Amino acid sequence: MSLTSCLLPFSQSATAPLTSTCSCHLSASFSTFPVSSRNYYSYLRNESLVLNGGGSNLWRRFYGSAADLRSEETILETDLVTGSHKAGDSPYVSKQFLDGLSDVPRGASLCIAVVGATGELARGKIFPALFALYYSGYLPEDVGIFGYSRKNLTDEDLRSIIASTLTCRVDHQENCGDKMDAFLSRTYYINGGYDNRDGMSRLDKRMKQIEGVSKANRIFYLSVPQEALVDVACNIGDKAQAPQGWTRIIVEKPFGFNSYSSHQLTKSLLSKFEERQIYRIDHMLGRNLIENLTVLRFSNLVFEPLWNRTYIRNVQVIVSESVAQTAKYSDGYGIIRDIFHSHILQTIALLTMEPPISLDGEDIRNEKVKVLRSTRRLDPADAILGQYKSRSGDKNEAILNSVGPTYCAAALYIDNARWDGVPFLVRVGTGLIKHRVEIHVQFRHVPGNIYRDNIGVNIDLGTNELILRDEPDEAILVKINNKVPGLGLQLDASELNLLYKDRHVLVFLNFAPTQVPDSYEHLIHDVIDGDNHLFMRSDEVAAAWNILSPVLDEIDKHHTAPELYEFGGRGPVGAYYLWAKHGVPWADE
């Protein structure tokens, strides 16, 4: 995560990028340079030292998370912000400070193992994300990438599997082929089972060969189906944890099937790992919009004072996908377990939580869990389940009897002082007419509005609305009333429109066109950084299941039939009635 970034000339004599955890012998050709945040990280790009501020900081990039090494971090921050600088000022990092870096002990190496390396997710998302991070200098030069699975493959086999999915992004053109070769040459394959310790012992040995005797950190990405998860986690826990460095495991969603199975899974994970080692990933939370929710709320004055039941009338969270998910939901998981449990509830938590005391992951998670616990359990009467019809043959037949819901509309309430009585309407579905991911925050009417008669017949059209749009075309829009030019006094609801593709088409880094990093890239970077605020903690997972349990139990007990809808249509009609029941105007399609 990077909130700020500045480009700085870097001396030709510099010997290694700061991100290389092996060498910190830096020299700079300048004495001071501005940095715009308390937290920094840096990397070399085209002979320029780029400092980034935000959730990361320089110390973390060398040594791990705040949670892992809090005291050392504090020491470094004290060094960084010195002299006359007040909080909020742009502090200067002195040459002495940079020179001092040469005394910082040698950094740790990093091994990343992808377990389930032959799978769709590993090939399509994880390895490409790792390459993108490697290309951009976010992985140490001496990183080791491991693929692990049951298939009998060689290093070369794995390299050609990975190579077939690697691409150079538009902002990754320079030396991309060389970088790919370098990346692949650091990739190794281990063949092993998931339910025995031998394979993990061999993986551990191979990692040690690469790590040598220096401090070495490890990340294990568990990209395996649920049935293999616990075995894999336990064997890693027993046989492959880093002997002298931190170990982090990334666990893929869904996080269990219901409250009970999730609790069992959590218990198994916590029997081998500490909470801070576990990163439960939902890649949809790696979207720019999600990170922006808190930035928008807490770094602007204009929203937070209105962010409560006095001014907000309702909130609508919409995830509408035009694609089919038949294969994915054919095992009965359905959209509630797949998207509602993590993505939707985390989005609502970030939107509604109280201000955390800092950007530290635990501080943010503490606030998220409070609001999740304050969220009322979802009444089955306030949930509309849908399933798209089969696309050929009998239009009245559900795709498969066992298929879980492919659509869910729901009304949630948060029973706390800030949100009492405000409906949170959720619409999440696949096989729908439009691909659309949006959050609508509708504000209340202006009390005693003297322009009431000039707004038109429908006063609802005259309420202010904040729209946070992720897809299509990321944007932030604010609907406001304004006078139509000309004689007379006619008001018009117009949109203040921050369209990202116009505003952020060029980045400041070399003015090269850039692409927004893939969400896996974002989140794996956070794991390396030890920034866990976008990953669900065990108590958040449990609180989220608790909200959804009444509906899931009802479906399981009574085999509730979902309302059928046309593939490519607008979803079940019941959703419109639900909106009306809760007094919420339907957000435009």
Ligand X SMILES: O=C1O[C@H](COP(=O)(O)O)[C@@H](O)[C@H](O)[C@H]1O
Interface stretch with ligand NDP, choices 145-153, 181-189, 393-401, 571-579 (CB under 6 A): 145-153
Closest CB 427 distance from ligand X, rounded Å: 14
Cα 364 vs. chain centroid, distance in angstroms?
14
Work out whether 430 is an interface residue with ligand X (CB under 6 A). Answer: yes
CA-CA distance, 119 to 85, in Å (whole number)? 51
Contact letters for ligand X, residues 368-387 (x by CB under 6 A): --------------------
Q: Select the binding partner of residue 223 from ligand NDP, ligand X, none (C-beta < 5 to 8 A, by kind).
A: ligand NDP
For every residue of 67-110, DSSP letters joined together read TTSHHHHHHHHHHHS-TTPPTTS--EEEHHHHHHGGGSPPPPEE
- Count residues contacting ligand NDP (CB under 6 A)? 18
Q: Measured from the CB of residue 437, what is the shortest distance to ligand X in angstroms?
A: 9
Name the phi and psi angles at 276, rounded to 5. -70, -10
CA distance linking residue 69 with residue 185, whole number of Å: 31
Interaction mask 325-344, ligand X, x per CB under 6 A:
x--x---------xx-----
Q: Under a CB-based contact definition with an 8 Å cutoff, are residues 142 and 157 in contact?
A: no
Q: How far apart are CA 398 and CA 8, in angstroms?
A: 59
Contact, 147 vs 114, CB < 8 A? yes
Integer-rounded Cα radius of gyration of the chain? 25
Of ligand X, ligand NDP, none, which one does residue 430 interact with (CB within 5 to 8 Å by kind)? Answer: ligand X
From 172, 283, 343, 533, the catalytic residue = 343
Report the alpha-carbon angle 288-294-300, nearest 5: 110
State which residue, 326 or 546, has the beta carbon closest to ligand X: 326
Which C-beta is closer to ligand X: that of 321 or that of 382? 321
Backbone angles phi, psi at 167, to 5 degrees: -135, 160
Contacting residue, 78, 83, 103, 120, with ligand NDP by CB under 6 A: 120
Question: Site map for ligand X, 489-528, x if CB under 6 A?
Answer: ------------------------------x---------
> Which parts of 436-455 interact with ligand NDP (CB under 6 A)?
none
When the beta carbons of 252 and 531 are compared against ligand X, the nearer one is 252
Q: According to CB under 6 A, which one of 85, 151, 377, 504 is a site residue for ligand NDP?
A: 151
Please give the single-letter amino acid code of residue 95: K
- Mention every residue, 6+ apart, whose C-beta is less than 8 A from residue 411: 382, 383, 423, 424, 425, 426, 578, 581, 582
Give min distance, CB of 60 to ligand X, in A. Answer: 26
CA angle 304, 307, 309 (to 5 degrees): 155
Partner from ligand NDP, ligand X, none binding residue 284, C-beta < 5-8 Å depending on class: ligand X
522 is catalytic: no
426 binds ligand X (CB under 6 A): no
Helices (H) and strands (E) in the chain, counts: 20, 20
Residues binding ligand NDP (CB under 6 A)? 116, 118-122, 149-151, 194, 223-228, 252-253
Residues binding ligand X (CB under 6 A)? 283-284, 321, 323, 325, 328, 338-339, 430, 519
- The catalytic residue positions are 343
